[in-house]
Each structure stands twice: as structure tokens, then as C-alpha cells.
Structure 1
Amino acid sequence: MKKKILLITPENEEINRFRKKQFNNFIQITMPYLAAFIDESKYDITLIDEYNQKIPYKKQFDLAAITVNTSNAEHCYKIAERLRAKNTRVVMGGPHATLLPDEVGKNCDYVLTGEGELIWPEFLEDFYNGKARTRYACETVPDLKNLPISRRDLIKKRPFSKGAVFSSRGCPYSCSYCNLKQIYCKPFRKRPVQEVIAEIGTIKNKYFVFWDDNFWGDTDYARELMKELKALNKKWAAQVTLDRCNDDELLKLARSAGCIYLFVGIESFSQESLGSVNKGINVVQRYKAIIDKIHNNGICVQAGIIFGFDGDKRNVFEDTLEICNNLGIDGATVSILTPLPGTPIYDRLKEENRLLTGNWSNYNGKTEVAFLPKNMSKEELFEGYMWFRREFYSIRSIFTRIKKSRVNILHNIIINLGYKLAVCNI
């Protein structure tokens, strides 16, 4: 007899309001990917993404699986409480479960820690046979060969943004605010090129995004993949480090393979701030030359920018806006520095008694400040961050930056207006 399983991509109301108006919110890939491991002779699958769907609490399920990020942890615990009240068993995994399994374990029936390729199918088989353990931990580094293709057919109401795929896992670097080293096995790993190409070929949309943490973490592999990708005639974006963009051959190959946007973690225009979080691979003096090089190859720059470093003073917001306008930065994903549990910066701020709250909902990097900044109040940090977002996505700034960039102008305008609507919606 089949069991009914509910897969949930959680999103609390505060973050949902923040993201809802943007045009470029691609589906989170975790649950569609995990769905591909499920034996449908044993399970009926329902996939819910709270970005645009409601959890069907009135229906009965045997098992619910929730992927837990830190900022959604409290929200996930409330979901689990409602489901368990109806005798639905709940299993949790994801970054927060990996970092704080004891805490998460108090709010569900089963906890999976680490990468899921091996332990997720094992758990599903054990649960089906009535012998599931309360804890499953990834103790063997998963091989990324022969992986199943994400179940995009289960995704509802996302006709233009369900095209997400990953080709590698991990990042060679160790920025102190990032938790990748704590949640993934250490080796940087790649999927076989032809398997990635085959999966991309199943994406019906012309546009897709690579969900890799660092798409150019291995440039030889990336070159091989992009050469094969060119024949598919698709348009795509990916996340890379700025230092790898100082390679004309790599950029030309990316453009010829259909790349229109690169997300680069600029983070700050202060070398002191970058050094304080172990991001010395970014050299501020090289920013302009590298960004010009990206633009000259017909690719837009989506800059990751973080406010709240110890070197940031009250003038950082205006200075950053001026520099972004002068460089023609096409778009920016702006965040407040967030000390995620398990990271070096969390440990340091905790030791310095600068953490302001233990409520994980405040650790979202978008709507709350979770720590005491060094050179301004938490209110000044938040107000400055919001000022920057409004000004960066003002009509004046949008056209100043696009005029400077002159790259993919139509896409650029659409994406900028999408972010502008999101800012206005807060």
C-alpha cells in the first residue's frame, strides 16, 4: 500500500512579502531534486512551495519532509507542530538541521544531517518498512554521478522560473560568514558533463539558472561544460567569484554558451572589510577592470553586497551607491551581515557578546539585524541598508547604471524593475 508524502519548501510570511514582487525568483531546487529519489510504487508525492502555495493541512499524509534554513527554522517548527497534531510524521533536513540537529530534533520525528543522496533513500526505505531511526547522518561523501533529474513536473504555478540545475557542489574558499564548509562534505565535486547537459535539455524554458555555489570553482570543468552547453541555445545565469572573471577566455566561452548574467560576491568596496571576513580573493583595486571585462563580453553583473562589516561606518551606504553607479553594476542582491550558526563570524560575535537575539527568524539578512554593529546602531544599519536598496533601484540609478553598462538592456530593465517592485512592497 502506498504512503502519502508531503515535500515542503518553507517560506515565512515576512520573507515571502519581501520576495513576491520580483520577476527573477527561481524555484528552490532542493525538494524537486529530492522528489526524484522517491519510489512512486511506494509513495504518492505532493510538492508544496510556500512561495506561491499553501500547505494543505486539511489533507492527511503519512510523512512530511521539510528542508530547514536558519531564517525559516521557527516557521518550520510551527508547520511541524500542526502536521504532527494530525499524526503526520515529520522529517527535517537542510542547513539548519545539519548545524543544530539537537534543536531541530526536538521539533520533528526524524532528522537528516549533511548531504542527502545516500541517507534520504535509506530513510525512505526504512520509513516505508516501519523501522526508521530518529537520526541519519551523511558519513560517506556522495558521488555526484548518475543522479536523478529534478521533478519539475511536480512544480506548480512557476511557468517561467522552474529552470534550476546544479553542476557542482561546494566552494574552494572559506569566507567566515558562509556556512558551506559546515554543511557540505569537504571535496569540491562535479557532476559528469554529459549528465548535466542531458538535464538542461529537459528544461522547457529558454532561461535557466545554475544553482552551484561557485560555478567556476573548477575552471577546466566549467570550460568543458560550457562548450557542450553552447549547442542547446539557452540563456542562463550563474554564481561565480569575481577573481575568476579576470579571464577573457572564460568570459568569451560563457557568453557564446548563452550566459547573460553572472552573480558575483563583491560584498564590499573596503579591502579592510573583505580581509576581516577572509574574502581576500577580492581585490578592490581590480574591481573596475574586471567588471569592465565582464561587460565587454556582453554579460551583466549582479553584485552581492553586504552591509554591517566591522569596517562599515555611516557613510558606507552613500559611498557604495556612488561606486555602483560609476561602475555600471547591473543589479545588486543586498543583504545585512548575518552571523549564521556554525560560522566563524557567529562564534566571534557570540564571544564578543554582540548577538542580539536567539530568534532565528531574525537571521534572514533582509528584514532584521541580528547583531550589534561596531560603528553604528542596529537601527542605523537597517535604515542605511533600506536607503541603499531604494536608491539603487530608483529610476535615476537604474538608467545611470544601464547607460554605463550597455549590456542586455531589455533583460536588465526587466530585472531592475522587478527588484524595484520588491523594494516598494516592503
Structure 2
Amino acid sequence: MKKKLLMITPENKEINRFRKKQFNNFIQITMPYLAAFVDEEKYLITLVDEYNQEIPIDQDFDLVAITVNTSNASHCYRMSAEFRSKGAKVVFGGPHVTLLPDEAMEHCDYLIVGEAEHTWPHFLTEFYREDCKKKLYKMNEVPSLVGLPIPRRDLIYNRFFTKGAVIASRGCPYHCSYCNLKQIYHDAFRTRPIHEVIEDIRQIKSKYFVFWDDNFFGDIKYAKALMKELKVLNKRWAAQVTLERCKDEELLKLAKEAGCIYFFVGIESFSNESLESVNKKINNVGKYETLIKNVHKHGISIQAGIIFGFDTDTKDVFKKTFEACNYLGIDGVTVSILTPLPNTPVYEQYKKEGRLLTEDWSTYNGKTRVAFQPKQMTPEELFEGYMWFRKEFYSWKSIIKRMRVSRTNLLHNIIVNIGYRLSIKGTFQKKKL
């Protein structure tokens, strides 16, 4: 008899309200990917993403699998308690439980710690036989990315234009002190066979997709070879890259020919002092203008990652960053509040200094809360400045000014900017600095 398996991508209501009106929210690939490992002769799969679905708490399941990130941890713990009270077994995986397995184990029946290519199918086999010999399943060796299954996009509900997410590589060669990739993954950059990536993309019905790689240009030789093959598919895509790598003219030319619309680049700050304070020395503020112009010259837009709250940030950082973004014609930003994620160097530093304000993990979302005491302003000033920046950046005046500088993918950029504008409109009263 088949066992009923529910696989959940969680999203608490606070973050959902923040993201819902944006137009470029591609799916998180973890659960559709892990669903591809499930033997359907043994399990009946239900896949649920809280971004646009309700959790079927009233239905009965034998096993509930939840991927847990830090900002959703408390939400996942409550959800787990409800399912367990109804007799279901709950298995956790994901970044937060990999970082804090002892805490997570108190709220579930089983844990999948770290990368799951081997442990997840092994656990499913044992669970089906009712022969789980342990509660914690951990991958100790570095898993290969050869022979990965195609994600079960057929199980995704109502996300036609944004269900196309793909991985071509895993890991990042850099060691930024606020990032938890090194604690989540093995510290080894790996690539997937190019023909397997191309076949995965070929099966995406939409014309649009995103590479969910941590650093798509982590291996330039590999990226160039992949993009040469990708060109024939005539798709449109985005990827996260390091801005410093965008000095390579051939790399950008191949990206554009292969259908690239925009790069997400972790600019983080317009202060070299701030970048050095978190070990992001790969970024050089003095080169930003040249590199961004080079990306725009090749017809590719820039979605910049910006972080506020570094120890070197003062209250003038918000205006300075806003003016710099307008001057450079940055097409869009994903702006965040610095968040000391568990087990990162920044977390350990702030904990030692007594600067963590709470261990309520819902506060650690980088979007609607401040979880630590900044060095040169109050938590309230950091949040208000962050909100002021978001509103000003997505004002019509700023949108028009930036589009005039960029002149890149104008229709796409206007649509995305409007989506971000709608996501903040009416949420907070306008702050003035």
C-alpha cells in the first residue's frame, strides 16, 4: 500500500505579504527536486508551496517533509506539532536544521542534515519499510552532481511563468562572513554535466527560467561552455553572478546570445570599508561603474543585492546608496537588512558582543525585522532607513531616472519595478530622512 507523503515549501504570512505582489518570484526548487527521488510505487506525493497554497492540515498523511530556513523555523515547528498531533511523522531538512540540528530535533521525528542526494532516498526506503534505524540522516562525503533527476515541475501548482528553476552548479568560491553557504554545503564548488543541464532546461515549458546557482560564474570555463549549448534553446533567463567576473567580454557576449535577461549581483555596499568588514573583498566599489556599464552594453540588466546594517554604516548610508543606484542606472534591487544567521562568523561575533536582540527566528528574515543592535544607529533607525530606501528606489521618479541611464530590457524592467512598487505601497507610512 502506498504511503501518503506531503512535501512543504513553507512561507510564513509576514514574508508572504511582503513578496506576494512581486512579479519575479520564481519557485524554490528544493521540494520539486527532492520529489523526483521519490518512488511513486511506494508513495503518493502531495507538493505544497505556501507562497500560493494553503497547508492541508485537515488531511491525513503518513509522512510530512518540510524544508526549513531560519526565518520560517518557528512557523515550521508549529506546523510540525499540528501534523504530529494527528499521527503523522515529520521529517525536516534544509538550511536551518543543518545549522542547528539539536534544536530542530525537538520538533520533528527525523532530520535530513546537509545535502540530501543520498540521505533522502535512503531515508524514504527505510521509512516505507518501517525500519528507520536512526533519527538523523547526514551526508558526510561531498555528493556529485552527475545524474541528478529532473525536478517534478508537474507537481507545482499554478506557477507557469515562474516554475522554471534550474541548478547547474553548487557552492561558491568566496567566504563572506554573513553568508551561511559554507555551513550548509560542503566547501567544494561543483558543476553538473552540461548535457544534463540542457535537458533539464529543455523540459521547462515556459520561455523563462532562472539558474538558482549560488554563483553561476563560479567556474568561467564551464559557464562559457554551458551558454554555448544553451543558445539553441532560445530561452530567456537570469542568474546570480559575481560582478567582478563581468569584465570578461566573451562571457557577457555568450550570456546575451544564450538569452540572458538579467544578472543578480551581490553589490551589498558602496563602501569598500563595509565590504572588507564582512570579507567580501572580491567587490571593488571603484570598479562598479565600469562593470555595470559593461553589463548594460551587452543588453543585460542588473538586479543588485544591497545590504544595510554593516558596522561601518552610518545614517547617511541610505541616501548615499540611493544616489549611487540612480547614477549607475541599476535596474532593480533586492535590498535586505543584515541578518546574523546561525553559525555564521557574523552571528558568532554579535553573540559574543551581546548584540543579538532575540533568538526568535522569525525576526531573522532580513526584510521586515532587525535582529541585532547596529553599531552606529538604533535598530529603529536602521529599519526606517531601509524602508525609506525601498520606497524612494521604487518611486516613479527613480524608476524613470534609472531606466534612462540603463536603457536595457525596458519593458521587462518596468514590469519588475512596478511589482516591487506594489509590494511596498501602503504598507508603511512614508519616512523622511
| 1:23-172 equivalence runs, <5 A | 23-132=23-132, 133-172=134-173
Give the Cα separation in 2 of the matches to 1:423 and 1:217.
33
Contact 1:29 1:164 in 2 (8 A): yes
Matched, 1:336 2:337: yes
Give the Cα separation in 2 of the matches to 1:222 and 1:44.
37
Contact 1:223 1:250 in 2 (8 A): yes
| 1:332-371 equivalence runs, <5 A | 332-371=333-372
| 1:248-267 equivalence runs, <5 A | 248-267=249-268
Structure 2 residue matching 1:216: 3-state secondary structure: coil
Change (3 A) 1:119 1:425: farther
**Aligned position for 1:308:** 309
Matched, 1:187 2:188: yes
Give the Cα separation in 2 of the matches to 1:210 and 1:257.
13
**C-alpha displacement of 1:187:** 1.2
**C-alpha displacement of 1:219:** 0.4
Give the Cα separation in 1 of the matches to 2:353 and 2:216.
35
Cα displacement string for residues 349-383 of structure 1 (whole angstroms, at most 9, x for unaligned residues): 11111000010000000000000000000000000
**C-alpha displacement of 1:113:** 0.4
> Which letter maps to 1:162?
K
Cα displacement string for residues 30-82 of structure 1 (whole angstroms, at most 9, x for unaligned residues): 00000000000000000000001001111100000000000000000010000
In structure 2, the gaps of 5 or more residues are 428-433
Give the Cα separation in 1 of the matches to 2:37 and 2:426.
38
Give the Cα separation in 2 of the matches to 1:271 and 1:188.
26
Identity %: 66
Give the Cα separation in 2 of the matches to 1:189 and 1:423.
38
**TM-score, normalised by the number of residues in structure 2:** 0.98
What count of residue pairs does the alignment treat as equivalent?
426
Give the Cα separation in 1 of the matches to 2:56 and 2:68.
19
Give the Cα separation in 1 of the matches to 2:248 and 2:142.
31
Give the Cα separation in 2 of the matches to 1:325 and 1:109.
50
Give the Cα separation in 2 of the matches to 1:56 and 1:340.
30
**C-alpha displacement of 1:425:** 5.4
**Aligned position for 2:175:** 174
Give the Cα separation in 1 of the matches to 2:129 and 2:267.
49
RMSD of aligned C-alpha atoms? 0.6
**Aligned position for 1:240:** 241
Cα displacement string for residues 79-98 of structure 1 (whole angstroms, at most 9, x for unaligned residues): 00000010000000000010
**Aligned position for 1:4:** 4
**Aligned position for 1:222:** 223
Give the Cα separation in 1 of the matches to 2:93 and 2:252.
36
Cα displacement string for residues 119-172 of structure 1 (whole angstroms, at most 9, x for unaligned residues): 000000000001112110111211111110000000001121100000000000
**TM-score, normalised by the number of residues in structure 1:** 1.00
In structure 1, the gaps of 5 or more residues are none
| 1:10-21 equivalence runs, <5 A | 10-21=10-21
